[in-house]
Amino acid sequence: MALAGPHDEALEVPASLADVLRARIEPLSPRTRRLLVAVAAAGSLRPELLARLAGASEIDEAVEHGVLVLVEGQVRIAHPLLSSTVYGDAGALLRSRVHLQLARLADSAEERVRHLALSGAGPDENVAAELAAAAEAACRRGAHGTGAGLFERAAGLTPESHEPERARRLLSAAEAHFRGGEPDRARTLLETAAAGEGPLRFEALCRLGFLLDETVGGNSSLQVFERALGTADPSVASEAHRGLAQSLSYVGGLDRALEHAGAAVRVAEPLA
């Protein structure tokens, strides 16, 4: 399951084509059109779930008009552009209600929290915490792309009063993106976290330094690691010294590299 809803990135539909697509569903009853919004919001559904979203007459009408199709055991709208039009034309209130309904019908915790997040209820720490838990589960099974998206959504739904949790979720999203082969997105999130005001900004700086070391090289990470030394956390300070030792050894500053290597050990000794 991908975190992003099927229409998070709206497809560009020319006005003339959109009118043609709308004409295709206009003859359908209001109940059938509502069913189409639910299928569009889900992206695809198991056939047995349709009966929990609408009656037989609405399902039959959508199938007979060729709007709903069965593809590899999943029911979906016949074409992505039609699906995007159906979802986009639905009002915000209807989309919210549909996502809440889909959350109640979801087979997995990840799917449930995805729909809760897409219901547009606003910041909610309970939903954010569920998203973060689902993200952790996704990452544990190796689905780092899914986990990254879930962590990002969790950070976005974290209330301002829970800033440490938001920062931690951004760091987790960055880690998942990096493991999933998206270092540019990881860098963007780390830079966002590093621009914050809480103590986790120093950990973000440290992680950003190591990422720059791996993806850019040269002296690109030196100032970042030096800024990370402003932390009061000895474990982060030790990592920042280690990063400086590593980076300086690459660019020929061997004496300073040795100094920071020694400092990394000294700072970490109380933690042993």
65-117 pLDDT, tens digit per residue, is 999 999 999 999 999 999 989 998 998 999 999 999 999 998 888 888 889 88
- Which class for 101: exposed (0-12), middle (13-18), buried (19 or more C-beta within 10 A)? middle
Q: 12 pLDDT exceeds 70?
A: no
Bridge partner list, 69: 76
Query: Looking at residue 266, what is its pLDDT?
Result: 94
The pTM assigned to this predicted structure is 0.75
Q: 145 pLDDT exceeds 60?
A: yes
Query: Looking at residue 2, what is its pLDDT?
Result: 36
Contacts of 48 (CB under 8 A, 6+ apart): none
* Residue 257 contacts residue 244 (beta carbons within 8 Å): yes
Least Cα distance to 3 among 102, 106, 146 occurs for 146
* Alpha helical stretches, state H, 106-230: 109-118, 125-140, 144-157, 163-179, 183-194, 200-215, 222-228
Q: What is the mean predicted confidence (pLDDT) over 247-272?
A: 91
Distance CA 242, CA 112 (A): 42
Question: C-alpha dihedral over 10, 11, 14, 17, to 10 degrees?
Answer: -110
Distance CA 234, CA 218 (A): 26
* Residue 128 contacts residue 71 (beta carbons within 8 Å): no
Per-residue pLDDT tens over the stretch 199-220: 999 999 999 999 999 999 889 9
- Computed over every residue of the chain, the mean pLDDT equals 90
Query: Looking at residue 9, what is its pLDDT?
Result: 47
